[in-house]
Structures are given as structure tokens and as C-alpha cells.
Amino acid sequence: MSSMKQIVLATRNQGKIAEIKAIFPDDIEFLSYDDFERLPEVVEDGRTFEENAIKKAIEVARWTGRVALADDSGLEVDVLGRMPGVLSARFAGPGASDEANNVKLLDLMRGVPDGRRGARFRCVIAVATPGGDVKTAQGVCEGYIAHEMRGARGFGYDPLFVVPEYGKTFAELGPEIKNKISHRAKALEKARGILDEVLAGRGPIED
């Protein structure tokens, strides 16, 4: 394993880690918070996904001395003014479960007609070096909010987010399809070139 390229994923979210590992090739070894002792938590206090992703990537890269990849993503619901947005993971309160967040969203969407249930998942990937160089990539997946939770796979808001092309939620589609069309898949595809450049040792990240 020591000859493999190493990237630290700045997350403890096992769902995100599994998706990222499934999308990227086998010649990269992904490390996470669990591979380091006493790695401080990064406070996600940014106003945008980009601010949070950049902060996480830079701090984790500095703490570990390795290239770090951070993801900040969430759900934007049009009728709710693009909420929950950056609050997606804690929509129902600090430490809220996925089910609690979904229940709150359903409550707020009760009575909203089909034509006004538009939403999107947005993901920003930030790649940072220990020296503080950073670059981002973004991906978006458009859809709408279902009237009830459907499907048993995935995590987060997957049981409520319907992809129009399939007429199914992410939780019904499963990882095989989701990892090809999701917001995270699109952002990671764009970030692939950034990682290739950094891991090849070509110096600072350049725009």
C-alpha cells in the first residue's frame, strides 16, 4: 500500500467515503479521520458550500501533511429559498439523524404541489496541498422532492430526491446509477484532473 498515492478525505461520513472510493480508480489509497489520532474537527461555519469545502481541505492538509480532498454538499429546495443548503446535515438540529432531517423537510413541503417541488443537490470538492494551495470543482444534479420517502439505499436526503430522467429517488436507484449521475460524481469527475496534477508532483495548483 505504501507505493499507492494517498489522499486524506476530510470527512467522517461513511456514505460519502464509500461513494468517493467507488468513483475513483484503485491506484489511490484514501485515508480518513479514522486513520489519524486526535485530528481536530473542522468547524463548518462558512456561508457557502465552497467556503466550507476549502476550509476543511486546507486545515486537514496542514494537519496531516498530505493532500486533502474535502466535500461540502447539500440539498437546495426552490420553494424553501434554497434551504436547507449548507445546513443540510443539521437541518433538524445539531447531530440530527437522516430520518429526522427528512421528516422535517416533508413537514415543510406538505401541501406544496408537484410543479413547485423543484430541488437540486449541489457539491463542491476542494483539493488542498499541505502548503495551502487549493482548487475547487462543482457538480449539480437537478430533481424534485417526493411526497414520501422511497427506497432503502443511499443516505441523507436520497429517499426524497427524485431524478426526473428515471422517475426514482436516489435511494431507489442505488449506487450503480447514482455514482454516475450524482452531484458528487460530477464534481469528482471535474476534480480528477486537479488530483492527477497534484499527485504527480507538478507543484502548486494553478487555475
pLDDT in tens, 123-173: 999 999 999 999 999 999 999 999 999 999 989 999 999 999 999 999 999
Q: Please give the average per-residue pLDDT across 20-39, as a whole number.
A: 82
Domains in the chain, please, with CATH?
A: 5-199 (3.90.950.10)
- Give the whole-number percent of the chain exceeding pLDDT 90: 68
Of 21-25, 119-123, 158-162, the poorest mean pLDDT is in 21-25
Q: Please give the average per-residue pLDDT across 95-107, as a whole number.
A: 97
Q: Please give the average per-residue pLDDT across 86-99, as a whole number.
A: 95
Supply φ then ψ for residue 204, to 5 degrees: -60, 150
Q: Which of 66, 31, 74, 51 is nearest to 126 (CA)?
A: 51
Confidence of residue 32 (pLDDT cuts 50, 70, 90): confident
- The region, left, alpha or beta by phi > 0 then psi within -120 to 50, assigned to residue 136 is beta
Instruction: Give the side-chain half-sphere CA count within 13 A for 155.
Output: 13
CA distance 103 to 87: 15
Do 5 and 29 meet the contact criterion of CB atoms below 8 Å apart? yes
Q: Please give the average per-residue pLDDT across 81-110, as a whole number.
A: 96
Residue 203 pLDDT more than 70? Answer: no
pLDDT of 33 reads 86
Do 78 and 145 meet the contact criterion of CB atoms below 8 Å apart? no
pTM: 0.87
Residue 3 pLDDT more than 50? Answer: no
Q: Please give the average per-residue pLDDT across 83-88, as a whole number.
A: 96
Confidence of residue 186 (pLDDT cuts 50, 70, 90): very high
Q: Is 114 a catalytic residue?
A: no
What is the residue-averaged pLDDT of the chain?
Answer: 90
Catalytic: which of 26, 72, 107, 158?
A: 72
Residue 105 pLDDT more than 50? Answer: yes
Confidence of residue 25 (pLDDT cuts 50, 70, 90): low
SS3 sequence, 86-135? HHHHHCCCCCCCHHHHHHHHHHHHCCCCHHHCEEEEEEEEEEECCCCCEE
Please give the span between the terminal C-alpha atoms of the chain, in angstroms, as a whole number: 31
